[in-house]
A = this chain, B = another copy of it.
Amino acid sequence: MAIPRAAKTLRRTRIQEEKEEQILEAALDVFSVSGFRGSTIDQIAEVAGMSKPNLLYYFRTKEAMHRALIDRVLYNWLEPLRAFDAEGNPESEIRSYIRRKLEMARDFPRESRLFANEMLQGAPHVLDMLKGPLKELVDEKAAVIRTWIKSGKITYCDPYHLIFSIWSTTQHYADFDVQVRAVLGEEHSGDGRFEDAARFLEQLFIGGLRPDRSGR
């Protein structure tokens, strides 16, 4: 007789690791496109290549699957912001933050869309995380940026909106990929657009944040 599913959390077999991995991979495919409400367990089961009851053996509900997926993806997603360092000089820190975020948009677009979907729906599953850990992390980095401003290394500006604008410009290339490709045309739909975007954004932010050159 199968053991109650709670026991799974005590010891995990090889098969469990593999299947859960497979399922979350498929779930990312589906949830990132259709959002939570728009996705079905059958869809995910099909992408994962297994039967629906089999999938439900590993995750008891659609909710549980979604939560596991978000938990798993969240840590890496915030990594670039955590790496944002007060010690480095502003120009190179901002430059590499932009680079890192653009790389994530290029290499992990599904993860970006998963969060975007969540945001559009009002963040029903991650609101606490936004108000707690994320806010704290951003507050911390905003303080760093303020020290840069006070020491005259970058021009005066609102650090929160600076962070928002880096998030939005970079994630745009994942979340609105289809629009970007449509506007740029087939011929610019290779990965080259990420290099072009990096060049533009670095120029924009470095130029836009340079300390006042003519008195303000």
> Which residues of A does B touch, CB under 8 Å?
32-39, 113, 116-117, 119-123, 127, 130-131, 134-135, 138, 155, 157-158, 160-162, 164-165, 167-169, 171-173, 175-180, 182-185, 196-197, 199-201, 203-210, 213
Contact = CB atoms under 8 A, between A and B. Distances in A.
A167 B158 contact: no
B120 A161 contact: no
A134 B172 CA distance: 17
Overall SS of chain A's interface: helix
A205 B201 CA distance: 10
Contact of A169 (B165, B178, B183): B165
B183 A122 contact: no
A119 B179 CA distance: 7
A204 B203 contact: no
Contact of A116 (B32, B116, B164): B116
B204 A165 contact: yes
Contacts of A197: 161, 164
Given A38-B38, A165-B169, A183 B120 contact: no
A184 B160 contact: yes
A199 B158 contact: yes
A120 B112 CA distance: 10
